[in-house]
Amino acid sequence: MTMSFEKVLGQSRSKRFLQQIGRTGHLPHALLFSGMEGIGKTALAFEFAKLVNCLEFDGLDACDRCASCRKADSGHHPDLLWVRSDGMFIKVDQIRELRRQTRFRPFEGRRRVIILADAQNLREEAGNALLKLLEEPPDRHLFILTVLEPQMLLPTIVSRCCHVRLQPLEDELIRDHLVARLDIPAP
């Protein structure tokens, strides 16, 4: 059975860092995952969100078997929230709704994890509203922002996040993955 972090190609350095902070329990209130398109930022954010609330976390990875992991995988975990672009942008009303939701403690998990996918799509007003949340983070909440480049965000948002830079994937890793996934002969 494939464990959570194994589902994300490469990124061994980032995975080790996330495992370390998961083991210690000293999580920052916000993480910023940056890197080029298609290298696994959102997938890694999701797998780390599972790790944070895994009921059987072994110090390395989420178990993918407990109720919390199964709920996350099915898209029904009450403490895993997604914020994605509404059209071309993440709008201020989405962040206001998020702020309303973060007034409450997590329902089941140790933390409520909010993943803001493609945070470079934050409109300026939405970025300012998010900044207010990050300046006074709600207790037991973890924000994970994914972005192509940190410079695409307000510098004040970047300064309030623990930055995790994802590396480009090696050609051999991509080739081996495609060969295995598509069940084709190796070149």
Give the pLDDT band of residue 1 (cuts 50, 70, 90). very low
Give the least confident one: 58-62, 66-70, 97-101, 128-132. 58-62
For the segment 4-29, the average pLDDT, to the nearest whole number, is 81
pLDDT at 84: 94
pTM (2 d.p.): 0.88
Q: Are 55 and 170 in contact (CB under 8 A)?
A: no
pLDDT at 19: 87
**For residues 146 and 122, what is the distance between their CA atoms, to the nearest angstrom?**
11
Phi-psi region at 11: left, alpha or beta (left = phi > 0; alpha = psi -120 to 50): left
CA atoms within 13 A on the CB side of 166: 29
Closest by CA to 166, choosing from 148, 152, 182, is: 148
Q: Which two tokens stand for residue 13?
A: 């350095």
Q: Are 40 and 13 in contact (CB under 8 A)?
A: no
* Residue 76 exposed, middle or buried by CB count within 10 Å (0-12, 13-18, 19+): exposed
Question: What is the four-CA torsion angle of 66, 137, 95, 100, rounded to 10 degrees?
Answer: 80
**For residues 131 and 84, what is the distance between their CA atoms, to the nearest angstrom?**
17
Give the pLDDT band of residue 26 (cuts 50, 70, 90). confident
**Segment 78-124, tens digit of pLDDT:** 999 999 998 999 999 999 999 999 998 999 989 999 999 999 999 99
Q: Which two tokens stand for residue 134?
A: 């990050």
**Segment 148-179, tens digit of pLDDT:** 999 999 999 999 999 999 887 676 766 666 66
pLDDT at 173: 62
Give the least confident one: 46-50, 103-107, 160-164, 183-187. 183-187
